[in-house]
Structure 1
Amino acid sequence: MFNLRWADEGGFPARDRGAAYGDGLFETIRMHGTRGVLLSRHLDRMVRDAGRLGIPVSLTELRKATTAAISHYSGRYASEQEDGAWVLKLTLTRGEGGRGYRPGPGVSPNLMVSAGPMPEAPTASGVAVDFSRVPLTVNSLLAGIKSLNRLEQVMAAREIEGDLFEVIMSDSAGNLVEGTRTNLLLKMSDGWVTPPVRSLAVAGVLRQWALERLRAKGELVLERDVSVEDALGAHCRGLFLLNSVIGVVPARSLAGQDLPVDDGLATIFNPLELLE
């Protein structure tokens, strides 16, 4: 069992391990009224990745808490936009206790629920993107987990200024990995390419859904290292940024170089068709 806490009623205790050590993980879910986009995938991922971290939580318990959170917040935020859109955030930590990094005996997990309005939608004609100067290092033990350890993304996000929408982070070998808050998917002359999960800090639920959808349509999708040449070379037919809250966003330029803008992927993502 976890302790259910509400952000608008005090949030986490001062000695929570999530605040002290980043010992936890989170999900950010796009809501429309009382239903969420890819809701089951978000909850399944939280349970699965909590298990990888050794934080005990059951799907039944998490679903019950999520239902309570939706009831608590939907009336407040759903009325702010015509389509009833808002954002629900679930933050799960190992709990409170233990001196230093080692958890104390009998630590009980904490789940904090919070909510907010939808961010402004990016332009459908494409956004400006640049390369980040902050390298991304992914520990294989934590690859893909949306953990609370996001300092590299915080530092990279400080580079986003003016009309820039996102910056793309690279690994130590110079391969393009992901944006500060988005996964990457490139349309190439012979199919689709995306970085493999082993290289990702966060393996997004929209990324996985898009790969499954493309493969179901008979498209060739490769998960492999992505180079700068892949994105800026002649074989690139489009660069897409994926985030389950903001959706599928085409990039119109990268580091000042114009990119082809293809709306083929954006048109298969309709959040209203993915509500649960």
Structure 2
Amino acid sequence: MFRLYWADEGGLPAGDRGLAYGDGLFETIRMSGHRGVLLSRHLERMVRDAARLGIEVSRKELANVCVEAAQRFADRFNSEDWVLKLTLTRGSGGRGYRPDPGMEPNLMVSASPLPPVPDPAGVAVDVSKVPLTVNPLLAGIKSLNRIEQVLAASDLGPSLFEVMMADRDGNLVEGTRTNLLLRRGDCWLTPPASSLAVAGVLRQWLLERLRQRGDTVTERPVTVNDVLGPDCQGLFLLNSVLGIVPVRTIAGHDLPVDGGLATIFNPLEKLE
């Protein structure tokens, strides 16, 4: 069980551990009316990753909240797609880092308009000066600890869609809000999940789909030379709210743009 809070009714209490320590995680789900894109994968990830943090939550309860949220919010967006956000924290109470035993989790639910759809002809990105560090115990979890992404995103201007973040060895890992996939020669490259701050649900769905159709997908570190080298056939950013976004330029360097990959994922075909 959890305590349910609606953002439009005031949000979480001041003593919440998510507010105090980032002790929790979240999901952002693209909604069309009363249904969500890849909804089951979002809920499964939240349950799985919450368990990694020692927070117990029921998938059935989360699904029921999504139904209630759709009834509450969908009509406010005049038939336009919208974004549902679930923020799950360990709960309220306890002074200091050590949580009290038997805490009841808090779940805050909010809704917002869908962001502008990226240009299908490709977007401009840069490489952030903020290094990305990933604790192996937290790899892939969409936790509330996103301060590195906040710092990196401060460099975003009107001409940039995203900034890519690199690890301490200079390998490109992900964007502030996107995973990356590179078409190089006759195969696809993507950083391994163990290196990611967030392992996106669209990333996992797409890798499964590419492998099912017989494409070669390699999970290994992606270098700047991989992206700027002559074998690069396209760099794509993945986000379950925004879809598959081709990159036109990175740090001022032109890249080949292929829109074919975007046709694989139609959000309206993945509604649940």
Q: TM-score range by the shorter chain?
A: over 0.9
Match of 2:51 in 1: 51
Q: CA RMSD in A?
A: 0.7
What do residues 141-191 of structure 1 show as CA deviations (whole Å, max 9, x unaligned)? 000000000000000000111311101000011110000000000001121
1:164 is paired with a residue whose SS is: coil
Q: How does 1:10-89 map onto structure 2 within 5 Å?
A: 10-77=10-77, 79=78, 84-89=80-85
Unaligned runs of 5+ in 2: none
Offset at 1:201? 0.2
Q: How does 1:112-261 map onto structure 2 within 5 Å?
A: 112-261=108-257
Distance 1:212 1:2 in 2: 33
Which residue type is aligned with residue 162 of structure 1?
Answer: P
Offset at 1:60? 1.2
TM-score by length of 2: 0.99
TM-score by length of 1: 0.97
Offset at 1:63? 1.1
Offset at 1:106? 2.7
Unaligned runs of 5+ in 1: none
What do residues 95-141 of structure 1 show as CA deviations (whole Å, max 9, x unaligned)? 00111000113311000000010101111100001100000000000
Q: In the alignment, is residue 99 of structure 1 matched against residue 91 of structure 2?
A: no
Identity of aligned residues (%): 69
Distance 1:161 1:272 in 2: 30
Match of 1:4 in 2: 4
Residues matched between the structures, number: 272
Where does structure 1 differ by over 4 angstroms across 4 or more consecutive aligned residues? none
Whether contact under 8 Å (1:98, 1:105) holds in the other structure is no
1:146 is paired with a residue whose SS is: coil
Offset at 1:71? 1.1
Offset at 1:203? 0.2
Offset at 1:32? 0.4
